[in-house]
Structure 1
Amino acid sequence: MDHVRRIAQAVLYERHLPWPPDRHPWAPGGLHPPAAGGAHAGGPWQMQTQCLVEAGPADTVDVHVRFLHVITREVARARGGELEPVAELSVDGTRHRAGQEAREREEAVSGLELGRLAGAPRVMEIDVPADQEAMWLIGADGPAGAVLRGWEELRGRVEVRAEPLRARLFRLTVRVANTTACRGAARAEVWKHTLVSAHSVVHTRGGRFVSLLDPPEKLRPLAEGCRNIGTWPVLVGRAGERHTMLSAPIVLHDHLDVSPRQPV
C-alpha cells in the first residue's frame, strides 16, 4: 500500500498543508461538521464511493479511510519555573514557531465478506478525542521551553455495504460522514473539526475491481450507474492490476504514476 500513500502525499495532502485555514476552509476533500454548513456556504460533510467488483460472495474487501487532522502548535519559553507563550523560540540554533500543522489519521476494517455485506452493512466509527502533547526543548543550559501540540475532537461514521448485481458481480458502497458536534461557527474553529483531504482505499482479496473510467462494454451501463458524491474511485497499482481502488476528492486516472516526470 506504499504506492497509495505516495499518491495521497503528492496529489492530496500537499494541496492542503500550506493553506491557511482562514483562507481555504472548504478545500477539496474536506468533510466539515454538519452543523457548520449553514454558516459556511454548505460545505460537504459526507462523501460516497460506489464501484463494481467482480467477486464471489465469500471474497473479501479491506477498507481504509484516511484524512488529515489540523493540529495547533504553540511555543512557550521557560521562565521562572513557568511557561510563557511566545511566537517563536530558538534553541541551540533551531527555530520553533507557533502555527498549525496536520497529522494523518486512519481508520480501517479488514476481511469483510461481500456476501455478508449484502445482508447487513458494516459500520465503523471514527472517534478521535481532543488532546494535547508537549515536546520539551532542552538547550545547553537546561530546559528552554516547550512546543505544545493540541487538537480538537473528531467524530465520524464509515458505512460499507454491497449489492449483488449478477453472478460474481457486486456494487460496493463506502460512505464517510463527519458527525462531529462543532460549537464554534468561525472558520478557523470549524477547520479544526474537519476531516481534511478525506479519501478511502479499498482492497479486495480474491476479486477484481472494474475501472469506472474505461469499463468493459458489457459492464458500462452498470459502471455509469455508480453514484459517487464528492469523490471518484480509480484503480491503483501496476498497470493491469485491479485489486485496489483509491477514491479521492479529485479526478485522477487509473494506475497513476507519481514519479517526478508524471503529471497529475
Structure 2
Amino acid sequence: MSAGGGSWAEALDEVAALADAVLFEGYLLYPYRASAQKNRLRWQWGVLTPEGFGTENNEPSSSRTECLLEPRPGAELHVRVRFLQVQDRTVLDAAGREVDELTVGDARHLRFEEGIPRQVDFTVAVSDLAVGVTVPIRMPASESTEEIVDGAGAGSGRLVRRCRPLTGRIVLGTTELPGPYGALRLRLDVHNDAEPSAGVPREEALRTSLIGTHSVLAVSAGAFLSLTDPPEWARPAAAECVNTGSWPVLAGPPERVDLLLASPIILSDHPQLAPESTINLFDGTENDEILTLRTMVLTDAEKAEARATDPRAAAVIDAVDALPPEILERLHGAIRSMGPAAPGPTIISGAGFGADSPAEQPPDRVPWWDPAADASVDPETDSVLVGGVPVAKGSAVVLRPGPGGDAQDLFLAGMRATVQAVVHDVDGGVHVAVSVADADSPDADLEADLQLAHGRFRYFRPDELEVAP
C-alpha cells in the first residue's frame, strides 16, 4: 500500500470496526426489544430495495459514490462492498405450527428478522476502469433449522432461518480530470437487481434488499482526495462529484490517504470510534452514557425479551450488566481538543478548578465566562468585515461554508441567513452567529422565531459569508 505497508486486505480491515458501526447503525434501538415501537420499522440506513418498490416508496434501488483519485502507474483499486442480508427467523412449536413466541423453561424464543453481514471483495487495475468494470453480487438463498429442547433434552420446537437470494451489481468507472495533475473522478454504483416488487409490503421487499450498504476502498499506489477539504486545484472537480445515498470520506488514521469509506451516514474525514465506547449500542445518534444507564435499569423481564429478540441484543444486555464502574466513568465525558495552557493568570471556572476556590476569589475578579469579563466586546453591537463591508446583528448574509468544518454545513451553502451576533472566542477568533430559515417555506417566520427563542444558531467564520445583495 502507499502508506503503512501491509496487504490490501489488512488495509481494508483497518477500518473494519468503524465500518461495522456503520453497517449495524440502527440495527436494534433501545430498549432492544422486538415489541418496542421503534423496532417495528427497521433497516433505516443504506437500504437498496428492488427497483419497482422504491419508485412508490422513495427508497432507492441503487447508490452512487463519486470521489477523486490520484493514482500512480500500476495502481490497483481494492474494493469491498458490504451490506446486511435479511434472515427471517420463524418459530415452530412441537407440533410444527408457526407461532410468534415459544417459551421453553426460562428461555423465550421470538420471531424476528436478523441481519447477516455479507461482503463482495475484488481488485481491479485502475487503468482498466477507463472503460468500466462490472462485478456481480450473488447471495444464494439459504435455510437452516435449530432444535429447541427442554431441560430434559426433549424436543419442544424449532427455529427456522431463511434467506431469500440477493442479486445485484457493482459498476466502477473513471474519467480524467482536465489539467496536468493526472487525477481521476472515480464512480462506484451499487445496484439491486432483484425482481421488481411494485405494490408489495415493505417487509416483503426488504427480504431481497441490500441493507446498510457501504463501501471500503484502498488504492495500492496513489491517494484519494478529500471532498470536504480538497486541495485548491481540485475544488471545482470535488464540487461536481455526485453522491447519492453515499458519503465518501478519507478513512484510517490521519496520515493515510489510500483508504476511503463511502457510508450512507454523513461522516468527517478520518472518523474514529471513541475509545471510551466499549459496547456497540447500534445507535450512534445517542449518547453512550445515557443508553448504558437506561439499559442498566431495564427490568429483568425486559432484559429477557431483549435477549430473546436477537443474539446481538443479548450481547448488549450482557455487556452492560458486566460493565465495571471504571469503564462507565469513562463514558461521562472526554476533552480532546485542548492543548497546554499558556502562561498567565489562573482562570476560575468553578469550584475545584484553578488555584483559588470561589470563597478565595478576589472580589474584583470576574469569571471568564461572564460577559462582563471584557467590556470591550458586545455580541449585540459588535461588527466584523465581510468582503470589506461591516456586518453586525440584523445583517443579511449568504452562507459559503469553507473546508474543515461540519460536513452538514455544506447543505446550507448558498442559503440566506440573518446575523444574530458577532462573538469572540478565548483564542481571539471571531465567529458570526446566524439564524437560517428557508425563505420559500410557509413557516419561515416560525422557524426564525424558534431559533431566536432557543438561542440555537449556526456559527461561521467571516470568510465563510457573503453580504446578501
Letter in 2 for 1:154: L
After TM superposition, the structure 1 = structure 2 runs for residues 90-169 of structure 1, keeping only pairs within 5 Å, are: 90-91=103-104, 93-110=106-123, 112-118=124-130, 120-139=131-150, 140-165=152-177, 166-169=180-183
After TM superposition, the structure 1 = structure 2 runs for residues 170-185 of structure 1, keeping only pairs within 5 Å, are: 170-183=184-197, 185=200
Distance in 2 of aligned mates of 1:64 and 1:10:
16
Distance in 1 of aligned mates of 2:23 and 2:209:
15
Contact 2:62/2:189 (<8 A) preserved: yes
Structure with max Cα Rg: 2
Residue 48 of structure 2 corresponds to 31
Residue 237 of structure 1 corresponds to 252
Residue 266 of structure 2 corresponds to 251
Residue 45 of structure 1 corresponds to 61
SS of the aligned residue for 2:127 comes to helix
After TM superposition, the structure 1 = structure 2 runs for residues 153-232 of structure 1, keeping only pairs within 5 Å, are: 153-165=165-177, 166-183=180-197, 185-232=200-247
How many angstroms does 1:145 deviate by?
2.2
Contact 1:70/1:191 (<8 A) preserved: yes
Report percent identity of matched pairs: 33
**Structure 1 residues without counterparts, runs of 5 or longer:** none
Matched, 1:85 2:98: yes
How many angstroms does 1:30 deviate by?
0.8
Distance in 2 of aligned mates of 1:109 and 1:54:
20
Distance in 1 of aligned mates of 2:107 and 2:15:
33
Letter in 1 for 2:266: V
Deviations 1:185-221 (A, max 9, x none): 1111112121111111111111111111111112212
SS of the aligned residue for 1:259 comes to coil
SS of the aligned residue for 1:255 comes to coil
SS of the aligned residue for 1:14 comes to coil
Distance in 2 of aligned mates of 1:226 and 1:232:
11
How many angstroms does 1:157 deviate by?
1.0
Contact 2:86/2:207 (<8 A) preserved: yes
Letter in 2 for 1:219: A
Distance in 1 of aligned mates of 2:182 and 2:148:
58
Distance in 2 of aligned mates of 1:68 and 1:191:
11
Task: Report the number of matched residues.
Answer: 257
Contact 1:233/1:245 (<8 A) preserved: yes
**Structure 2 residues without counterparts, runs of 5 or longer:** 1-11, 30-36, 278-283, 286-469
Contact 2:174/2:184 (<8 A) preserved: yes
Deviates more, 1:155-164 or 1:8-17: 8-17
**Cα 1:243–1:43 shift into 2, 3 Å:** same
How many angstroms does 1:121 deviate by?
1.3
Matched, 1:69 2:85: yes
Higher helix proportion: 2
Residue 15 of structure 1 corresponds to 26
**Cα 1:217–1:5 shift into 2, 3 Å:** same
TM-score, normalization by structure 2: 0.51
Deviations 1:22-80 (A, max 9, x none): 6357x23111111112332x32111111111111241001111111111111112234x
Distance in 1 of aligned mates of 2:158 and 2:270:
44
Contact 2:23/2:83 (<8 A) preserved: no
How many angstroms does 1:180 deviate by?
0.6
Deviates more, 1:208-217 or 1:156-165: 156-165
TM-score, normalization by structure 1: 0.87
Contact 1:74/1:85 (<8 A) preserved: yes
Distance in 2 of aligned mates of 1:28 and 1:126:
19
Report the RMSD for the aligned CA atoms in angstroms: 2.3
How many angstroms does 1:9 deviate by?
3.0
Deviations 1:90-118 (A, max 9, x none): 345332211111111111212x1111211
Distance in 1 of aligned mates of 2:219 and 2:25:
28
**Cα 1:58–1:233 shift into 2, 3 Å:** same
Distance in 2 of aligned mates of 1:190 and 1:168:
43
**Cα 1:17–1:67 shift into 2, 3 Å:** farther
**Cα 1:20–1:136 shift into 2, 3 Å:** farther
Letter in 2 for 1:77: D
Contact 1:21/1:187 (<8 A) preserved: no
How many angstroms does 1:131 deviate by?
2.6
Distance in 2 of aligned mates of 1:88 and 1:43:
31
SS of the aligned residue for 1:37 comes to helix
Distance in 2 of aligned mates of 1:122 and 1:136:
45
Contact 1:56/1:115 (<8 A) preserved: no
Residue 70 of structure 2 corresponds to 54
